[in-house]
Amino acid sequence: MKRTVFIFILLAITAASSLMVACGTTSPAKQPGAEEVKTIKMGCTLPFDTSLGMDTKKALEMIVPDFNKNGGLMVKGQKYNIEPIIYDDKYTADGGRAAVERLVNEDKVRFIICQVGSAPIVAGLQVTEPAKVMVMCGGASSQIIDLKNKSVFGTATWRTNLAPLFPLLKKAFPNAKTMVNLSPDDETGKALARDNAKIATAMGIQVLDNIYYPRSTQDFAPFATKIAALKPDIMDYPGAVAGTQFGLQFKALYEAGFQGAHVSPMAPNPVEIFAVAPKESMEGLISVMAATDIPNPKPLAQQYRNAWTAKYGEWSNASLNWIPAFYAFVEAIKKTDSVDPEVITAYLSANGLSWQSPTGSAMLVKRPDFKNDRFCDTCASLDFGIFKNGKYEYLGTVSAEDALKANQDAFGGNWK
């Protein structure tokens, strides 16, 4: 009997201690004054089947943990770390909307940062705008900076980098008179083709045709044959992904006998381009150049490149166009000393923002040409290059202020 009671007591003690351990009551009491770190959820949707999507994902997975490790954010005396939550948007409106709904409704995200493609971004705005979720994104569509949107900021330079680029193009190719736009037949491509045609016409260049292709196109031979028959002096690629598909376009045009200049608002990815196209096909390309690839890059750009190669090995510049949104986001929180998206949005919309990122300095601007008096778009410092004699040569850098001036001259109105 005694033995049974003893075993019973022993079992009871064991069960009680297990329960205490499970409930954590045996853990040491929290030290007074120990810092409690809160988390800001930062949502993002990216096309996982493209290099720019995957590289941006890799970039966020590299810079956000580094940022947290280096102290994170301090807002009203409270320490915050950033937690990225990234879903695949398949570069489509449907995929984008579904991913954003998941972020907003399931993950309770209140900031969506670094999205890439116009179609998913514009579709996602139908969810983020009513929920007052702040969005800082790439995407070329002018729908992003539409008057009706109040909580979105375009932090890439797609809508503002052609105005400073075209004078350089005219200087490099003074006899160029005609141009053809080759764009994807989606929101990004059509919006950029419209804008580019507007700027080209203002610069005295006649747009012979806007040719649209489905974004998944791989065979550009029919397009190239048509373009070669039109004999334009300049080929423009608004909205093209500057990697493999860009290479396929160059290759097809080269094979069709096109010998004019190429212009691109996006920094090309030579590794992917030369994987499918001969070097000669890129001859005469004048474009934005990656800030990391210019001679003597700025420290932040060099630091970014070093961190990338240390973590991933081979350098790829595809993420550079999209990550400035993260730096703008951090700067916006610091500037407003708030993690409330409504407070931040109201401040930025009224006062604008300047920030530094690996691509250089940037600032939010108004878009009076779209009758939008809110700081909603971005002008940034831009590095330009030309592909000549088999080499990509640095042409020069235009400051954010000069880019702003070029755009004001081209589109009119006061952007500040």
Q: Does 4 bind other proteins (CB under 8 A)?
A: no
- Collect all residues with Cβ–Cβ distance below 8 Å to 109 and sequence separation of at least 6: 41, 42, 43, 85, 103, 133
Give the nearest distance from C-beta 286 to other proteins in angstroms: 23
Strand pairing class (382-388; 391-398): antiparallel
- Cα pseudo-dihedral 250, 251, 257, 258, rounded to 10: 0
Q: Does 195 bind other proteins (CB under 8 A)?
A: no
Q: CB-wise, 50 or 128, nearer to other proteins?
A: 50
Among residues 75, 85, 131, 256, the one that binds other proteins under rule CB under 8 A? 256
Give the nearest distance from C-beta 293 to other proteins in angstroms: 19
Q: CB-wise, 195 or 272, nearer to other proteins?
A: 272
Q: Does 230 bind other proteins (CB under 8 A)?
A: yes
Q: Does 49 bind other proteins (CB under 8 A)?
A: yes
Among residues 12, 37, 221, 350, the one that binds other proteins under rule CB under 8 A? 221
Q: Does 37 bind other proteins (CB under 8 A)?
A: no
Contact letters for other proteins, residues 168-187 (x by CB under 8 A): -----------------x--
Contact letters for other proteins, residues 51-70 (x by CB under 8 A): x-xx----------------
8 Å CB contact between 268 and 242: yes
Q: CB-wise, 101 or 255, nearer to other proteins?
A: 255
Among residues 223, 308, 329, 355, the one that binds other proteins under rule CB under 8 A? 223
290's tokens: 């990656």
Give the nearest distance from C-beta 270 to other proteins in angstroms: 11
Strand pairing class (178-184; 152-154): unpaired
8 Å CB contact between 280 and 259: no
Among residues 213, 329, 387, 411, the one that binds other proteins under rule CB under 8 A? 213
SS3 305: helix
Q: Could you tell me how many helices (H) and strands (E) the chain has, helices first?
A: 13, 16
State the angle between helix axes of 162-172 and 187-202 in degrees (0 to 180), rounded to the nearest 10: 50
Q: CB-wise, 65 or 257, nearer to other proteins?
A: 257
Q: Does 130 bind other proteins (CB under 8 A)?
A: no
8 Å CB contact between 181 and 196: yes
Among residues 79, 226, 335, 405, the one that binds other proteins under rule CB under 8 A? 226
Give the nearest distance from C-beta 209 to other proteins in angstroms: 7
Nearest CA among 210, 209, 261 for reference residue 233: 261
Residue span binding other proteins (CB under 8 A) among the ranges 219-227, 284-292, 320-328, 365-373? 219-227
**Which 267-296 residues touch other proteins, going by CB under 8 A?**
272, 274-276, 278
246's tokens: 């860009």
- For residue 96, CA distances in Å to 53, 86, 88, 185, 329 come to 13, 12, 8, 17, 20
Give the nearest distance from C-beta 211 to other proteins in angstroms: 8
Q: How far apart, in Å, do the first and last CA atoms of the chain sit?
A: 90
Give the nearest distance from C-beta 88 to other proteins in angstroms: 9
Give the nearest distance from C-beta 196 to other proteins in angstroms: 18
Strand pairing class (73-75; 261-264): unpaired
8 Å CB contact between 317 and 290: yes
Among residues 118, 128, 245, 321, the one that binds other proteins under rule CB under 8 A? 245
71: left (phi over 0), alpha (psi -120 to 50) or beta: left
Give the nearest distance from C-beta 138 to other proteins in angstroms: 19
d(CA 236, CA 256): 16
Interface with other proteins (CB under 8 A), residue total 36
For 211, other C-beta atoms within 10 Å of its C-beta total: 17
Judged by the rule CB under 8 A, the positions of this chain that interact with other proteins are 48-51, 53-54, 185, 208-209, 211-213, 216, 218-219, 221-223, 225-226, 229-230, 243-245, 247-248, 251, 255-257, 272, 274-276, 278
